[in-house]
Amino acid sequence: MTPFFKCPRRAMPLVLAAALATTSLVAISPTTALAVPAGGYADLVETISPSVVFIEVTGKSAAAGPEMEMPEGMPEELRKRFEQMMPETKAQPVQGLGSGFIISKDGQIVTNNHVVEGADKVTVKLSDGREFEATVVGSDPMTDIALLKIKADVDLPAVTFGSSDAMRVGDEVVAMGNPFGLGGTVTTGIVSAKSRNINSGPYDDFIQTDAAINRGNSGGPLFNNAGEVIGVNTAILSPGGGSVGIGFSVPSDLVQNIVADLADDGTITRGWLGVQIRPMTQEVAEVLGYGTPKGAVIEAVGDDSPAKKAGLVKGDIILSFNGTAIEELRDLTRAVADTDPDATADVVVLHKGQEVTRAVTIGTLKPADA
């Protein structure tokens, strides 16, 4: 496995922070964890570090190198000599490294999907040196979250989730993981921004932090000053693969929902509306008197979809979904996904210049519809 890119190639790509190469929580009030702890982070790190794990992945075998192609018309005797001189190409197992953290005493572990995707074997190493072979309970490529399980004969040290929504820009955070295979590494910083869309998937809602995150940190926790996990470190913005102080974490409020769903049956269930959407243009917004674009313009309605059954048509502009105002496209994507299949949602649309409400019975998103 090689480092992954979750957005189109460009001068400064968003590089997933896993070392998948040869190198490799009770909610608190926003005012509780703002300042650096008196005396520094040593006491906090000592408490939470046993819950942070090192993950080693062995993937499917790959050829050691490309075979040399012989020119057409080469004499048979010369071809044989070349073949004897060429080294034998052998399949080699591919290894990668990442991070994770324990969330239950019985051995549930959270990491990134891209850390374990395609793995034949996943090994989890604890801070005290113990190693366990892990089972992948389930994973969700759309949010890049995976749930693992290990079996130990004793209770394991677990951390709890805090509220990512309660965090404010400027709050102190601590990142832990295994950058470049250097286990037990701690970095600190602040929440640089919230609700970042880095175009890695339909449910982007990242916490941005300047706490140093590098390859190998993927799947590791981002803590608040109370020692609660408020994010899962997933990606970095980097021109050369190293930290430049712009990292991204999946917020804990989303992670908790994904983990709970995976723990149930190893799969994710999401709501489905059945429309193709695009943003409102500035010109249309001005004509409608909105000033700035908002809502989601329906470009197409799927056959036999919940949207079509509810009377939604091409050209309708979705302004709110089940009470959630739709300011941009991802607001609708997340709101629909978070709605239980078979539930009824009120959808406010601008239809031929008039606001109308449609009652939609939400369907179940299938992989082909994602």
Residue positions annotated with a catalytic role: 114, 144, 218
* Contact between 169 and 194 (Cβ < 8 Å): yes
| 80 exposure class (CB count in 10 Å sphere: 0-12, 13-18, 19+) | exposed
CB neighbour list of residue 183: distance below 8 Å, 6 or more residues apart? 54, 125, 127
* Contact between 337 and 365 (Cβ < 8 Å): yes
* Contact between 194 and 250 (Cβ < 8 Å): no
Q: What angle do CA 117, 140, 221 make, to 5 degrees?
A: 85
DSSP letter, residue 214: -
Residue 172 phi/psi, 5-degree rounding, is -75, 145
Q: How far apart are CA 211 and CA 269, in angstroms?
A: 33
Q: Is 38 helix (H, G, I), strand (E, B) or coil?
A: coil
* Contact between 322 and 361 (Cβ < 8 Å): no
Residue 4 phi/psi, 5-degree rounding, is -100, 155
Q: How far apart are CA 235 and CA 17, in angstroms?
A: 5
For residue 326, which amino acid is it?
A: I
Q: CB count, 10 Å around CB of 297?
A: 20
